[in-house]
């Protein structure tokens, strides 16, 4: 049985995240879909479609979640550094 369009998208997203170790935001941008859709696909739908892939994706999502405050701080620092340079 062939996977449906949604199932195919879920599998493509999961494989992309595993290969690139990217964030949900980066995957959403790459595929032109919302962050919510990517998260729903790889955190929820993937579990019923392909449990082994879900087990591989989960640690990547957890690591990205743990590091997001660091990335946010770096982005804020860069923003104000650039603003200071322009003045």
Cα–Cα dist 2/59, whole Å: 28
**Full pLDDT tens readout for the chain, 87 residues:** 566 799 999 999 999 999 999 999 999 999 999 999 999 999 999 999 999 999 999 999 999 888 877 877 888 888 888 888 888
Q: Which structural domain, as residue segments, surrounds residue 54?
A: 5-86
- The number of folded domains in the chain is 1
Task: Report angle CA 27, 76, 87 to the nearest 5 degrees.
Answer: 130
């Amino acid at each position: 049985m062939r996977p449906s369009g949604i199932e195919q998208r879920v599998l493509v997203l999961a494989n992309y995240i595993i290969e690139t170790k990217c964030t949900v935001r980066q995957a959403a941008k790459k595929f032109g879909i919302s962050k919510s859709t990517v998260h729903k696909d790889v955190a929820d739908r993937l579990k019923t479609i392909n449990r082994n892939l879900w087990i591989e994706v989960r640690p990547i999502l957890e690591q990205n979640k743990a590091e997001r405050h660091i990335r946010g701080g770096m982005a804020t620092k860069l923003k104000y550094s650039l603003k200071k340079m322009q003045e």
